[in-house]
Structure 1
């Protein structure tokens, strides 16, 4: 038979369970509404010819055939996303890691620099896109004014008249927006290393760059793998920054896959609303992102085995 104490303990346990369920219910409901419902929506319309209004006509795999055979712009936008991600991450990740190492020192006033360097990460991507479009404006941009005043150029440069110059600006803006959050992640990883390990490494003569590669990096390697994966996927899904800064110009050459899908879905930039076709492109893009994730995890599997 249950004692009075057991009954009280069970009652408290049930009360705690109910309280826990109530606390996670809003998150769980939001996850279902904004996670799974859109996926079901996309799956529903990917195999149809639907323009947002009127009849929803089932077309089978016609949308996917169109993507593969008759839409080179989609593949170009996907390639642009990969090029932009590769270029910016080659700068962003080493910069974030280097700053984290420098800021992981017990020096007076270091918190000020941590907060200051992190600030760009809390600014809206749309605002950052507008800032960089104004900074690099061809006639009244601050960058051209500084370069001309320093005598480095004789006349203003039109930064957005060619694909590669515009892509450079997008990469620069994206690095400025995202290096701060990656820096904080790396800083948290570095601060999780016990001080005794630094002391032992110093005694053994592993200091500076040697100490970083032989002592510090092996410890944070698993965390480094996760940070880089999130950065890669996030970079491939870039959208609002591109729309605000170049909107795919010049001539759509800086269009990335997410902006291309967005404009097809909502009929932007003079395009027709093609919900069905945009849904099919979303599925194809999701497959590519999944492939990138699997390949990356396989290629970096040894990072988890370093420690």
Structure 2
């Protein structure tokens, strides 16, 4: 076959992937980059306004509040998810009866719809007849129901729900990393008198370094972009306490009835917000990747 024939054959194989990338990736991105300079509400009603959307974004207190909430949500989720998933992986990697069943049980939330998980936990944390309050009231631990989805505890509640849905996924990745560590290292350390804690910090953690680097990066991206469970449970409330960046963006493009502001579709301003949120996530991810690479060179 001639070089031209091989090129044509390869091009035919690549054509579906290229077409999908153009239709579902490049075109929407070009659409966003164009309309963030317009006032656009759909149906061809567009007006070029230059940088007005970005000036509005700079003065938008609701957006910057959502950025702060996103950092709180992402930080809390990471602090809860990574240690728990690592602990579960270490336990389920040992000699434990029924560990394969437990692995499936802990991984199950990952394959369940986020909306379904959020609805279930909304019922569990309901202030008036939720299971948590009923259990605490029955045991005398509290004198009156706790507003788990109120201003004081709403962020903590959505962090717990988001972490519960993510732990199984990262546990599986940690398990894959643990099973790649040579068992001879643990045997040699045991002969030298190292206990479980010493073996964990001196062998397990260093050997998991490359895997942990990837897991943390994936967790950072997922935490910064997460909003689905919050949308179902609180819609960003109460009084904006759980409004995160991507939920705020969603409301601009697809207003939620009765959720407060904004009340109409704002594709132009939404495009500017989408660009800003993507830039924030990208900068944080790149900064973490750079710092993790520098740490690898040092150690």
TM-score, normalized by the shorter chain, greater than 0.5: yes
> CA separation in 1, counterparts of 2:138 and 2:15?
59
Pick aligned residue for 2:138 from 149, 154, 159:
149
Q: What's 2:80 paired with?
A: 91
Residues 236 and 152 (structure 1 numbering): CA distance in 2 closer, same or farther, change over 3 Å?
Answer: same
Correspondent of 2:290 among 290, 298, 301: 298
TM-fit CA distance, 1:165: 0.5
Number of the residue aligned with 1:39: 29
Helix, strand or coil: the match of 1:116?
helix
Identify the residue that residue 248 of structure 1 maps to in structure 2: 236
Distance 1:167 1:63 in 2: 29
Deviation at residue 127 of structure 1 after TM alignment: 1.0
Determine if the alignment matches structure 1 residue 275 to structure 2 residue 267: yes
How far apart are residue 81 of structure 1 and its match?
Answer: 0.7
| Number of residue pairs the alignment of both structures matches | 294
* Contact 2:155/2:241 (<8 A) preserved: no
- 1:262 equivalent in structure 2: 250
The 3 A distance-change label for structure 1 pair 75 and 298 is: same
How far off its partner does 1:118 sit?
A: 0.7
Residues 1:237 and 2:225 are matched in the alignment: yes
Query: Per the alignment, in what secondary structure is the counterpart of residue 206 of structure 1?
Result: coil
Do the aligned residues in 2 keep the contact of 1:267 with 1:274 (CA within 8 Å)? no
Q: Is the 8 A contact 1:120 1:180 kept in 2?
A: yes
- Give TM-score scaled by structure 2 length: 0.90
C-alpha distance after superposition, 1:235-287 (max 9, x if no partner): 01112111111111112221111010110112333611100100000111111
Aligned with 2:188 (options 177, 197, 200) = 200
CA RMSD of aligned residues (A): 2.4
Deviations 1:60-101 (A, max 9, x none): 1110010102x1000001110110110121111000001101
Structure 2 unaligned segments of length 5 or more: list them: none
Matched position secondary structure for 1:98: helix
Aligned positions of 1:107-146 closer than 5 A: 107-146=96-135
Q: Kindly state the Cα deviation for residue 290 of structure 1 after the two structures are TM-superposed.
A: 1.6
C-alpha distance 280-218 of structure 1, shift in aligned 2 (>3 A) = same
Distance 1:25 1:144, change over 3 A: farther
Within 5 Å, give how 1:50-129 maps onto structure 2. Answer: 50-69=40-59, 71-129=60-118
- Residues 203 and 227 of structure 1: is their aligned pair in 2 closer, same or farther, counting only changes over 3 Å? same
The higher radius of gyration belongs to 1
Structure 1 109/18 Cα, relative in aligned 2: closer, same or farther at 3 Å?
farther
* TM-score (structure 1 length as normaliser): 0.88
List alignment gaps of at least 5 residues for structure 1.
1-6
Q: Separation in 2 of the partners of 1:286 and 1:122?
A: 26
Judging changes above 3 Å, is the alpha-carbon distance between structure 1 residues 143 and 203 closer, same or farther for their aligned structure 2 residues? Answer: same
Q: CA deviation at 1:306?
A: 7.1
- More off after superposition, 267-276 vs 281-290: 267-276
Could you say which residue in structure 1 is the equivalent of 2:154?
A: 166
